[in-house]
Structure 1
């Protein structure tokens, strides 16, 4: 019998000067924040459409921040705080919490508009026969990490925000004797050059 699945979205508040700062030279602080907000809403919408299980938005600043107090979540979605530490520590904390509740987990960010409900369904399907699933991104990171089993080493000592994140994570999965499914490569939106990978209607609205 398959375990229930939880989708945990990691997100920064899409505020000027906080979110998508590497896009500021191209879009300005307000424009970068607006795009971050659009990607956040898109990610929430795709997770809700996939109907795979509970959707949790795990945020920074903490969920008692004024921005999140006024934020409208999709029906059934919940809000949680990322807590402290580097990205690995925060991801491990969220994944371990789901595992402690007997759930499998899909961990994803909000930087990949190419990640759709169909991609999420494919990841969930892959988890039915694998221990882990990864959607790598063109820059060497990953847009999604799905896990049936959580091991601390998958998140510790990873060179976050570099081109080796996905490769290092995959190596750790293998070291943990976990079966890993490597899915199609998608495009994150981090740098001005990445804007070409936005949906056409989004690019036209910039």
Structure 2
């Protein structure tokens, strides 16, 4: 399905407006954030990890994208002190995620960009500035760009223009997400670029993997 030719007239110049970046983030509330990490870190430790992941993701994003082109889409508690602090320190826009499943929320964020855009979460610490820049470039020549994750989902989606059909009928939270998304892309006749496969920091087993990356672990682990 990955291809490097234009389809349906979608892939063209990004134009003079900077590429927009949306970030979906849950407030670092103990017991509600990074819940699969609670057996290893406790509720407070898992919340601290979430806080650090949000900040790390914002700092990485700002290495490739200006603050005026970044929107942090908040969940759980939209006026959480973490989000207020981030807005004041980094100057990014905050918007509450709408009601609905993940597909509805992602589509809303991509629609809000008003043009070609990327969307990420906060669970992929190996998504660095080099990889973000690569995704920026790939979206110049393809209708979509994704970073598939080892668990069957994906850590980044970029589109030339949003289409709600892309996110319909997807079994969110399962190992079928990326494969089902490839089917939707084929139905839309969209070209797809997948620069690499990544992994998310979701489970206690992932903590050991991150610990092996010492410099990164020092920035993120609570």
Calculate the TM-score normalised by the size of structure 2: 0.85
Number of matched pairs? 202
Q: Does 1:8 align with 2:22?
A: yes
Determine the structure 1 residue equivalent to 2:97.
82
Q: Does 1:25 align with 2:63?
A: no
Instruction: Tell me the SS of whatever aligns to 1:50.
Output: coil
Query: After the TM superposition, which residues 86-165 of structure 1 pair with which residues of structure 2 at under 5 Å, given as runs?
Result: 86-98=101-113, 101=114, 103-165=115-177
CA contact 1:187–1:197 (8 Å) conserved in 2: no
Higher relative contact order (CA 8 A, sep 6+): 2
CA contact 2:34–2:202 (8 Å) conserved in 1: yes
TM-superposed deviation, 1:202: 5.6
CA contact 2:21–2:65 (8 Å) conserved in 1: no
For 1:174 and 1:85, locate their aligned partners in 2 and report how far apart those are by CA, in whole Å: 25
Deviations 1:76-105 (A, max 9, x none): 41101101011111111111222xx2x211
List structure 1 segments (4+ residues) > 4 angstroms apart after TM superposition.
Answer: 201-206
TM-superposed deviation, 1:66: 3.9
For 1:180 and 1:202, locate their aligned partners in 2 and report how far apart those are by CA, in whole Å: 30
Structure 1: where are the runs of 5+ without partners? none
Q: 1:82 to 1:54 in 2, by over 3 A?
A: same
For 2:97 and 2:197, locate their aligned partners in 1 and report how far apart those are by CA, in whole Å: 26
Q: 1:10 to 1:147 in 2, by over 3 A?
A: same
